[in-house]
Structure formats: C-alpha cells, structure tokens
Amino acid sequence: MTQRKRLSNTQGRRSDPLEEDDSDLTFTQPSTSQVQRGLDKFTGSQMDQKAAEVIQYILVKDQKKIPVRRADLVKHVLKDYRYIYPEIMKRVLQTFDQVFGLKLVEIDTKNHLYILINKLEPQEGAAGPPNPKMGLLFVILSLIFMKRGAVKESECFQCLLYICGERHEQFGDVKKLVTDEFVRQRYLECVRIPHTEPVEFEFHWGQRAELEVSKAKILDFMGELHNQDPQTWSQQYKEAHAPPPAAPSTSQPNHSQR
C-alpha cells in the first residue's frame, strides 16, 4: 500500500470562515520512493526557493491572523514539491525560528491548520503603537477566564456595551469585531449552548489565545484591578500556574511515516 488518502473532511466540517473550502485531498501521503525521487529531482537552492515562497504565503495569511491550511499550502504553493513537503517545511521552520523569532504551530490536527506564534517574550508597549483591539480582547479573555472558561454571548456583549458602547470610535461595530474578527483569528471560540431555544452561544478561549496569552498575566491584571492578591482566586490561580499541557504538536507538520 503506497498511498493513503486522508479523508479528514468526511466528518461534517463546522462552518469555518476560511476563504477556501477545499478538502485536504490535495495532500496525499507520499511513498518513500516518491520522496526519494522528489529529493533527487530538486536542487538545494530550488528547495530554498520553494521554502521562501511558503514563508511568504504564511506571512501574508498571518498578517490577517488567518490560520493556514495545509491543503491550500500544497495546492497554491508547493505544487510539484508536495512529495518533499517535510523537507521543505524543515527549512521553513528553521527560517521562522532563526530570522523572524516565530514558530509555526498546528492548532487543528484533523484539518491541519497552522498559525504562527511569537517566540520572543511579549513586552509591554513594544512593537510600535499599542493596539487598542488587543486591549479589548484582553478584557474579554479575562472575563472568560474568571468565569472558568465560558461566558454567554449576551453577557459578554452587555459587559462590552458598558465598557465601550455599541459603536466605538476606533473599533466600529464592537459586536462584529468580537464575533467575526476575534473568532476568525482564533482568539475566541463561539460555541452553541446545547438545548437552548432560542439558540444561545457562549465564548471560550480560542486556540491562538491558549498559545499566546498567559493566564498568570491575566490573573495579575485582575489582582491589580481589584486590589486583591491573585492567590485568593484559588481555582484560577491553580490553572494559571499549572505546568503547561503537552506542548502543542510542534511545528513539524505531521507526516506519519510507516
């Protein structure tokens, strides 16, 4: 058996605001001989060039914080190089690490979605002018965290209404920012609450938030806000200072070689 098709999209895909809804079928697990032929066919500098294209592609997506799908990467960029995908990605990861200080992480192992996260320690007020949207996001994430992981949509909007009104000078439509942008960027996850009529939703932390935002920092922030020792929220404190769960399947986009 040389080729196994990945039928990852057979389970009903949840409506995903990604641009292209194409299956992962374009990526076929290469056989060893295909890999070898690929490696023979392309020179080192050709592979570097292809890696450069992959990097460009991922950076463009990342600018809008849209996760990259492996299927799109293969279809639009790798093309003939698909059989040596791991070899190309090795170069890509190395460059992200050494030149940009970024790390490519798979956030969805079923649909093979990747995002870039920062390897450098976040700095207050670094990276140019502060981003007010991120401030708002931080508030929402704090709210969810203090409520042990989930906040009803209606409750969240009530709180935001209180903080910044319905339309904000800089954000425009606040609701839209939260439900469209933050959810698309995977900072938030919007989940239907089962057995509700009319239908109700709640917000959870999205995968990007889990990877990029420190719960301990959030708790410190809450402590300062309420002038209270963070340790008094014992549950949250335990969660914030727990050892990180098994590291997110690192970088090397999985290629199960048998």
Partner 1 sequence: MPPHLGDSHRRFLQSMMSNSVMDEQQARALYQHCCDIHKAQCVPDKLDDFIETINSKLQPMFMQIRKGMSEDNGQQYYALVNMAETDVTRMSSDYADNELELFRKTMDLIVSSENGKVSSTDVLNVADTLTIKKLKKSEAEQVLNRLVQDKWLNEKRGEFSLSIKCIIEMEPYIRRMYEDQLKMCHICHNVAFQCQICDSPTCGIKIHNPCVARYFKGRVEPRCPACDEFWPYEIPGISFYISIYKST
Number of residues that bind partner 1 (CB under 8 A): 22
- Closest contact distance (angstroms) between CB of 55 and partner 1 is 5
Residues 172 and 244: their CA atoms lie apart, in Å, by 36
The answer to whether 151 and 144 are in contact (CB under 8 A) is yes
* Region near partner 1 per CB under 8 A, out of 57-65, 72-80, 105-113, 176-184: 57-65
- Closest contact distance (angstroms) between CB of 134 and partner 1 is 11
Binding status of residue 95 toward partner 1 by CB under 8 A: yes
* Region near partner 1 per CB under 8 A, out of 56-64, 67-75, 206-214, 246-254: 56-64
Q: Of residues 115-144, which lie at the interface with partner 1 (CB under 8 A)?
A: 118, 120, 123, 126-129
Binding status of residue 94 toward partner 1 by CB under 8 A: no
Binding status of residue 56 toward partner 1 by CB under 8 A: yes
Helix H or strand E segment including 201: strand 200-205
Residues 129 and 119: their CA atoms lie apart, in Å, by 20
Q: Which residue has the tokens 């900072």?
A: 187
The answer to whether 165 and 172 are in contact (CB under 8 A) is no
Residue from the set 55, 88, 139, 213 that interacts with partner 1 by CB under 8 A: 55
Sign of the CA dihedral 107, 113, 118, 123? negative
* Region near partner 1 per CB under 8 A, out of 46-54, 164-172, 184-192, 194-202: 46-54
- Closest contact distance (angstroms) between CB of 170 and partner 1 is 13
Binding status of residue 43 toward partner 1 by CB under 8 A: no
Binding status of residue 214 toward partner 1 by CB under 8 A: no
| Identity of the residue, 100 or 237, whose beta carbon is nearer to partner 1 in the bound complex | 100
| Identity of the residue, 43 or 98, whose beta carbon is nearer to partner 1 in the bound complex | 98
Which has the closest alpha carbon to 71: 24, 137, 38, 140? Answer: 24
| Identity of the residue, 48 or 200, whose beta carbon is nearer to partner 1 in the bound complex | 48
Q: Reduce the DSSP state of residue 217 to 3 states and report it.
A: helix
Helices marked H in the chain — which ranges? Answer: 32-41, 44-63, 70-73, 85-95, 132-146, 153-164, 174-176, 183-184, 207-212, 215-226, 234-240
- Closest contact distance (angstroms) between CB of 92 and partner 1 is 10
The answer to whether 81 and 220 are in contact (CB under 8 A) is no
CB atoms within 10 A of CB 18: 17
Residues that bind partner 1 (CB under 8 A): 48, 52-53, 55-56, 59-60, 63-64, 95, 98-102, 118, 120, 123, 126-129
